[in-house]
Structure 1
């Protein structure tokens, strides 16, 4: 099985959680699949939410011309199989709350129109990303652009405050999975763990996060899945798990 691998990193990142915004905006610990597809779409020049909004701006929902589908990047890339490997101890990145002012006139109804924003940022995040070759033209285009370092739009990590760095691009061949451990994020498929950590002297860790995995069609809300990163043995590997260089990676 052919695939392309690259390192995705940055000084900071913020993949904002939509469920808490009363006092502080919080971030997911890892880049999630919809955000990663958006980054890949930016690289090859696919349209996003803004383009879809502009297309429908003066149209009535339900009319013949109204586009009630996904943003272009998601429509074109949603079937890609991608593995996300956190390059951090135990899969956990350091985070810090940043405080800054939004002083545009419509930011706040408070006197002076100044809104104090508190936002959680990841510090020095990095992931290895592997994309399965599905034989499509869009995969070939992503592969080509990654290999030559080309991007139509600037890729960023969640917001345009956080520029993305792409390095260590290489084509690889995946083999049949083997062993008892998974070295990437994967969707939880068990109620409890029965195994042991990889090494006797290694501290066991188990990181789990409810993370966006798909977009809901009607309103483009996130659909969530529990993503796990652990050094415990996994009794039953999820589908689409392959081996490269002695490690097993699951593709979601």
Structure 2
């Protein structure tokens, strides 16, 4: 039996390192992405992380099939983001362990970009008849964790609250609707115009609507390099028109809370 549940994830700071940035500054993704969320869920139920070069970690092997959905958090009238973006700061520090640099003295000077007070709503589809997923369901519901979860770095511990579960159905657009989560944008914008994959309802514009775009990891490649595979995501408070073309691989779901989300 499958259930969709949600939790709100919060942290004082976060660092979701972009693998293509290094010198002179380490940059972070703005939005929580699926591989990072799976790592958080794996820590909660005590699954092992990366242990050996060239081997996929246990948590990923067991959880990679999960369908998830993610959105920047808004709750009780409070918005933790600005038009989809979180505040960021620059942190500078020295790594003096002697193991991080071959320079004289073994001192590595690091400059990192960090998220400030990031918060996300995460929906997860769980098969309660699967032992691992049933354990995750119970741990999320009871606020238990085997390992302390963190947001990108072990000094950036996180917590979650507001566990909820939902009845759901596949959503087929009829009229104007809004997607309450990040969703995958499969077409590009050409000459400043949106392709028919989705059409914004311009009549909903009230001066405070926004479109947020970010290319985010959705999985690891199967090669031994374990590089990310990416998709282009959108988050918006604009309403969409009925002729939004459903992605071929990722369904929209309507929840008993009346939220419409895309799970991937």
| Corresponding residue for residue 133 of structure 1 | 126
| Corresponding residue for residue 108 of structure 1 | 101
| Corresponding residue for residue 160 of structure 2 | 166
TM-score normalised by L of structure 1: 0.87
- Contact 2:170–2:251 (CA<8 Å) still a contact in 1? no
| Corresponding residue for residue 251 of structure 2 | 240
Of residues 64, 67, 70 in structure 2, which corresponds to 1:78? Answer: 64
Measure, in 2, the Cα distance between the counterparts of 1:198 and 1:247.
21
**Could you say what the CA RMSD is over the residues aligned between the two structures, in angstroms?**
1.9
Deviates more, 1:36-45 or 1:231-240: 231-240
Is 1:22 the counterpart of 2:28? The answer is no
Higher helix share: 1
- Contact 1:43–1:153 (CA<8 Å) still a contact in 2? yes
TM-score normalised by L of structure 2: 0.83
| Corresponding residue for residue 63 of structure 1 | none
Is 1:3 the counterpart of 2:4? The answer is yes
Deviates more, 1:229-238 or 1:216-225: 229-238
CA shift for structure 1 position 231: 2.6
> CA deviation digits over 1:131-166, x for unaligned, max 9?
113343222111101111111111000110110111
Deviates more, 1:197-206 or 1:179-188: 197-206
- Contact 2:126–2:137 (CA<8 Å) still a contact in 1? no
CA shift for structure 1 position 78: 0.6
CA shift for structure 1 position 191: 3.1
- Contact 1:10–1:126 (CA<8 Å) still a contact in 2? yes
Measure, in 1, the Cα distance between the counterparts of 2:245 and 2:62.
31
Structure 1, unaligned runs of 5 or more: 54-67
